[in-house]
Structure formats: C-alpha cells, structure tokens
Amino acid sequence: MAKHVVAPVAEIPPGGRKVVEAAGKRIVVFNLEGEFFALLDRCPHQGGPLSGGILCGLTQSEEPGSYRFSRAGEFIRCPWHQWEFDIRTGKSWFDPRRTKVRPFPAGVEEGATLVEGPYQAETVSVRVEEAYVVVEA
C-alpha cells in the first residue's frame, strides 16, 4: 500500500468529511476531533455512498426502556438503508463480524516531511508550512 496525500488538514475540520480518490478507489475521510479515519466510500450492502449519510452516535441499552448514548458523531449511516458503521473500525453495529466496510490507515503529516518522503500527492500541492491528511491505500 502506498501513502497518498489527500487534503490539507484545514480542509476537513472536526466533524467534517471529504471524499478523495487514492489508488483508484473512492475513499471518504472523516475527522473525529482531530483524529482522521478513512473508509471505502461504498456500503458493503448494496454499494451506497457512505459519504452521503448522516453522522450519528451509538445507542445501547441495559434493558428495555433504558437508553445509553455515547460516541456522538462517530458512526456513519449509509444513506440508502441507514445501516450504522463505526467510523473508527468500519464495522457495522448489527453484525460487526460479517458486515464491515474496508478501513484505510489515515494520519497527519507535516508538509516539510512530505516534500522529502515517498508520498504520492497526485491532486494536492504540498507546501512546507502546512499539515496534510495522508491515507494508506
């Protein structure tokens, strides 16, 4: 897998998302309070674009009538059938073992490092004074 520079950090603010192309794949990159995560932008169910879905949190329960809400904004729901996927892992909530969307490692690199390193920046021009989101795909 190669590392791809996909966007300046400032372009994907916390809670934001961006669809990018890397290694010929459509990938959606999320910013969860400064941490970046990347998923294939294709629902494993019928191929819906996850990037078009709404963000939600995790609702769990101890027993009927109790609601425990956590991890606001850390799940993406496919816009076609509303299946929930954990942005951190790509796993669906209802069947995490068998139904999951492919995750890609994502991180932040400084422009100064990138101009020297073995990175592919097909569409993003890199400036030394900026930081960039890098996806391995």
Partner 1 sequence: MTTAAIDCDLHPGVPGVAALLPYMDEHWRHSLVERGIEVLESASYPPNAPSTVRRDWRGAKGGAPSTVAEVQSQALDRWGAAAGILNPLFPVQLPFSRDMSAAMARAVNDWVRAEWLDRDARLRASILLPNGVEEAVAEIERLAPDTRFVQGMVLCMAEIPLGRREWWPVHAALERHGLPLGIHAGSAWRHPPTSVGWPSWHVEEYASNSFGFQASLASLVTEGVFQKYPGLKVVLIESGVSWLPAFLWRLTKSWKGVRFEIPWIDRAPAEIVRDHVRMTIRPFDAPEDADTVRRLLDHLRSDEMLLWATDWPHAHFEGDATVPPGFPEGLLPKIMVDNPRATYARLREGGSA
E strands present in 33-114: 35-40, 55-60, 68-77, 84-86, 103-104, 106-110
CB of 80 to partner 1, least distance (A): 9
Place of tokens 């996806």: 135
Tell me which residues in 64-83 interact with partner 1 (CB under 8 A): 64-68, 77, 81-83
- Residue 127's nearest CA partner among 9, 31, 3 is 9
- Residues sharing a CB contact under 8 Å with residue 1, sequence separation 6 or more, in sequence order: 23, 104, 105, 136, 137
> Which of 82, 89 has the CB closer to partner 1?
82
> Which of 11, 84 has the CB closer to partner 1?
84
> Which of 63, 116 has the CB closer to partner 1?
63
> Which of 82, 123 has the CB closer to partner 1?
82
Tell me which residues in 86-115 interact with partner 1 (CB under 8 A): 92-95
3-state SS track over 89-112: CCEECCCCCCCECCEECEEEEEHH
How many residues bind partner 1 (CB under 8 A)? The answer is 20
> Which of 34, 65 has the CB closer to partner 1?
65
DSSP state of 20: E
CB of 95 to partner 1, least distance (A): 8
Tell me which residues in 35-64 interact with partner 1 (CB under 8 A): 56, 59-64
Q: How many CB atoms lie within 10 A of CB 11?
A: 14
Residues at the contact surface with partner 1, assessed by CB under 8 A: 56, 59-68, 77, 81-84, 92-95
